[in-house]
DNA sequence: GTCTTTGTAGCACGAACGTTCGTATTGCAC
DNA sequence: GTGCAATACGAACGTTCGTGCTACAAAGAC
């Protein structure tokens, strides 16, 4: 019980000075999943150390306080979110209508694929901490603002590219798209209903159509191309679960 | 400290047998507010008893377990929700487009007015418990389903009344409306931004317009009549806070 | 070879958690 | 007036929480 992971074994060849970083990363990888299920407050040090088969104090030493652990977990989740949603969306699409669509599409995939075990980390965290002032809440709010700004920018760029009606309120559209994808995640988590994502996509497509110009790329092409390249990822994720 | 509420005083004329019910109701009134802020798990018996200036054991005896307290709190919140949103909406509007609009409008008001101190009780609870199987989660999911069904029914009735396009997917529209009002609540809780409710209303109005028939009552009239009768309630609520 | 730094474990703390138990007080029935 | 059921309290249970402090093993510097 004292040592399930013998100390001398796993860093025989690697330099000792790097072990800390690696352990920290390993902790945070588990922490983000745990927090997405149990919440950032339900993410306890005892539970986390049990999950990782290490001592409470050993784990604790990496962060110094629970709040620091929470903040580190948030940063780790943000990195994963960017890597899984924002970056691929930007790389896979050109500016304009394709990009704003791609952002929403990648988001629903990210939620559907279960990148975090308990659904979108930030949807959960922002609901949990909205009433608790402090640095944790501030950071979460800041990151959600980044996401909303990314959506808004996507809309604005599509307007500049002549794909969307320039008279449309970009902030308003971003609000609506975020509402729809978050609701997809919400319904999926609560009811396990995959159709929720289809509903979100459908609503977003309709809304885009309602403000698309005649010069915009045809709507139908967007969804179809995306579906194909994503099917393998979904299969991979559901196999791992 | 032991008794801020002297036991012999308030039931001098009332029957003693009713005291239990009254205390229970008083507990639950505080519990729903506390749970809307701290979450249903963060709603601790110790904290609740402190808030009510009564003993932990005395409070505990009313429920028998924490889970029973949570379930009772949920029922209390449901009663308030129906009383504050569903019933007034049904009474103040006739079947059809006015009613579905009224349901959404009453919901945003309910969130904006702060009927629960931490925002919509069920938005918070459903996000918190979506990953924790058990009777608490099941009840929350059931109540949210009631609400979604009420929205869907509102849309369907508006179709039957010839106000909305009968080809529209009522479930889809209900999903979208719920997404928008919940996002309004979310943004308001996280950023304190009252404009979020305006955005939600705006999006719902637009969506209704997009599927409204020529025989539907004029859209503009709906919003205006509502605003007037609600202003007093908002004033009353903000004074109490 | 020692010395220092780094990472982990062991142990203990005070507080809060949900829960149980015994007991005191009260109102009502008899 | 006596007995009963309802209601609430205070104390304590065992557990877990976050957080310290000390010790020790391993790697790199000299």
User: How large a percentage of chain A has pLDDT more than 70?
Assistant: 84
Q: Is B89 within a domain? A: yes
Contact status of B126 with chain A (Cβ, < 8 Å): yes
- State the pLDDT at residue A223: 59
- State the pLDDT at residue B221: 73
The values of phi and psi at residue B164, to 5°, are: -120, 150
Q: Is A199 within a domain? A: yes
Q: Residue A190: is its pLDDT beyond 60?
A: yes
Read off the tokens for A39.
Answer: 């919440």
- State the pLDDT at residue B21: 84
Which of A130, A172, A190 has its CB closest to that of B141?
A: A190
> Which nucleotides on strand D sit less than 7 A from a protein beta carbon?
6-12, 16-22, 25-28
Count structural domains, chain A: 1
A220-239: pLDDT as tens digits: 777 544 544 444 444 444 44
A24-81: pLDDT as tens digits: 999 999 999 999 999 999 999 999 999 999 999 999 999 999 999 999 999 999 999 9
Q: Is A237 within a domain? A: no
Read off the tokens for B6.
Answer: 């002297």
Tell me whether residues B128 and A39 touch, CB distance under 8 A. Answer: yes
Residues of the domain holding B198: 77-230
Read off the tokens for A66.
Answer: 């629970």
Q: Is A47 within a domain? A: no
Tell me whether residues B178 and A183 touch, CB distance under 8 A. Answer: yes
Q: Is A126 within a domain? A: yes
Question: Per-10-residue mean pLDDT for chain B, 241 residues long?
Answer: 35 54 92 96 96 94 96 97 97 95 97 96 97 96 98 98 97 98 98 97 96 87 53 42 37
Read off the tokens for A7.
Answer: 């100390």
Tell me whether residues B182 and A186 touch, CB distance under 8 A. Answer: yes
Strand partners, A164: A212
- Whether A186 and B185 have beta carbons less than 8 Å apart is answered as no
Q: Is A82 within a domain? A: yes
Chain A residues with CB-CB distance to B36 below 8 A: 131
Q: Is A122 within a domain? A: yes
- State the pLDDT at residue A17: 55
Q: CA A12 to CA A18: how far, in whole Å?
A: 12
Residues near B179 by Cβ (< 8 Å), separated by ≥ 6? A179, A180, A182, A183, A184, A200, A203
Strand partners, A212: A164
- State the pLDDT at residue A21: 81
Q: Which residue is associated with the tokens 């988590």?
A: A189
The values of phi and psi at residue A164, to 5°, are: -120, 150
Residues near A82 by Cβ (< 8 Å), separated by ≥ 6? none
The pLDDT confidence band at residue A23, using thresholds 50, 70 and 90, is confident
- State the pLDDT at residue B241: 37
- State the pLDDT at residue B200: 98
Read off the tokens for B11.
Answer: 């039931």
- For residues A165 and A218, the model is more confident at A165
- State the pLDDT at residue B17: 58
Contact status of B175 with chain A (Cβ, < 8 Å): yes
- State the pLDDT at residue A218: 86
CA of A75 to C1' of D24 (A): 32
Q: Is B52 within a domain? A: no
Q: Residue A6: is its pLDDT beyond 80?
A: no
- Whether A39 and A128 have beta carbons less than 8 Å apart is answered as yes
A88-136: pLDDT as tens digits: 999 999 999 999 999 999 999 999 999 999 999 999 999 999 999 999 9
> Residue B209 is part of a domain; what is its CATH number?
1.10.357.10
For chain A, the average pLDDT equals: 87
- Whether B41 and A42 have beta carbons less than 8 Å apart is answered as yes
The values of phi and psi at residue B18, to 5°, are: -95, -10
- State the pLDDT at residue A215: 86
């Amino acid at each position: 019980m004292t040592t399930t992971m013998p100390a001398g074994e796993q860093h025989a060849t690697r330099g000792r000075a790097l072990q800390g970083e690696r352990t920290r990363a390993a902790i945070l990888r588990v922490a983000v999943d745990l927090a997405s299920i149990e919440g950032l407050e339900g993410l306890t040090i005892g539970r986390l150390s049990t999950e990782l088969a290490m001592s409470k104090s050993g784990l604790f030493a990496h962060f110094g306080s629970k709040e620091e652990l929470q903040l580190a977990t948030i940063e780790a989740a943000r990195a994963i979110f960017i890597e899984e949603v924002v970056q691929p969306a930007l790389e896979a699409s050109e500016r304009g209508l394709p990009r704003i669509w791609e952002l929403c599409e990648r988001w629903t995939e990210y939620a559907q694929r279960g990148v975090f075990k308990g659904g979108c980390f930030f949807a959960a965290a922002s609901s949990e901490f909205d009433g608790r002032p402090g640095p944790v809440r501030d950071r979460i709010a800041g990151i959600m603002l980044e996401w909303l700004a990314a959506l808004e920018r996507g809309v604005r760029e599509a307007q500049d590219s002549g794909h969307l009606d320039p008279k449309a309120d970009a902030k308003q559209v971003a609000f609506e798209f975020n509402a729809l994808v978050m609701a997809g995640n919400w319904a999926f988590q609560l009811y396990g209903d995959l159709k929720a994502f289809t509903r979100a996509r459908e609503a977003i497509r309709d809304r885009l159509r309602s403000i698309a110009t005649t010069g915009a790329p045809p709507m139908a092409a967007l969804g179809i191309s995306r579906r194909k390249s994503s099917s393998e990822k979904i299969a991979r994720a559901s196999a791992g679960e």
